[in-house]
Amino acid sequence: MSVRFRNCLIGLLGLIPGPMIVEAAADEKPKNATVSPVPESKEKTAKTARTAKSSSKLPRMLRSDRFWRTKLDPGQYYVTRRKGTEQAFSGMYWNHHEDGIYACIGCGTPLFDSEAKFDSGTGWPSYWQVISRNYLKTHPDLSSGLLRTEVNCRVCDAHLGHVFDDGPRPTGLRYCINSASINFVAREDLKEYIDDWRKAIGLPPLEPEPTAEEKKPETEPSPVEKPVKNESTDAEKNTELRESSANPGR
Ligand SMILES: [Zn+2]
């Protein structure tokens, strides 16, 4: 992901103290996509807002099974709430190449950037990096008889897919994600999307951006503009996979 976009996304998100990772998602029908998080009743939204203590921490968005059955189509529900796996080469995004981000279908959390998407040949959208590790949680999965590492959305617990350690450089990771669990947002719609997303999951609005006079000179070092060295980050990521066998399939 370019430094320019990375900084842009960090600014828009207004959180994520740690290293940013990337990822993206695509949608053949971006205008009709469920970009903003699932609409909720005003009562529920207010409740979520009250539980959001700070912008540096993502709130959880936990809902009943009935809620998800109502908000998701059968395929999305099967994948995200029943840990299902869509057929290879059948999803909306395995062969999608537009520029943007891929967000959680349940809560709208931005998960992957298109710049970290690659053709894995598996028939599922694959990424070598996630936008922020803060947005995901992983745990061992023995459901298939093989030890794999399941990937879930940290905000709404949606099952997304699995992560393997046979991905390309620089991370060596392959996030193998079901198209039904994500939704594409075009790059030009990112700011509006982030605003909607923050509102829906109960994060406060972002502060207005500083004026040109208030901005620091570009020559001044900025932590987020330092070259991103992935060696240490990759090591951390691969540590997560030590328990996992390098199963190239799903
Ligand atoms: Zn989610």
Domain extent for 124: 3-240
Predicted confidence band of residue 117 (pLDDT cuts 50, 70, 90): very high
The answer to whether residue 156 sits within a structural domain is yes
Q: What are phi and psi of 126, to 5 degrees?
A: -130, 140
Closest CA to 55 of 196, 207, 223: 207
pTM of the model: 0.66
CA of 194 to the centre of ligand 1 (A): 14
Residue 76 included in any domain: yes
Question: Does residue 70 lie within any of the structural domains?
Answer: yes
| pLDDT in the model for residue 248 | 44
Beta strand pairing call for 126-127 and 136-141: unpaired
Answer with the residue of higher pLDDT: 44 or 140: 140
Residue with tokens 């392959």: 174
Distance 101 CA to ligand 1 centre (A): 14
Considering the domain boundaries, does residue 197 fall inside one? yes
Give the model confidence (pLDDT) of 31-52 as tens digits: 333 333 433 343 333 333 333 3
- As annotated, the active-site residues are 176
**Closest to 200 (Cα-Cα) out of 70, 15, 83, 52:** 52
On the question of pLDDT at 29 being above 50, the answer is no
CB atoms < 10 A from the CB of 80, how many? 25
**Segment 176-192, tens digit of pLDDT:** 999 999 999 999 998 88
Rounded distance from Cα 164 to ligand 1 centre (Å): 20
Q: How many domains does the chain have?
A: 1
Task: Return the structure tokens found at 66.
Answer: 């009935």
The domain spanning residue 174 has which CATH number? 2.170.150.20
Structure tokens given for 204: 């406060």
Q: Of 242 and 136, which is predicted with more confidence?
A: 136
Residue 134 lies in a domain: yes
Residue 31 lies in a domain: yes
Query: Does residue 26 lie in a domain region?
Result: yes
Say if 248 falls within a structural domain.
no
φ and ψ of 104, to 5 deg:
-60, 135
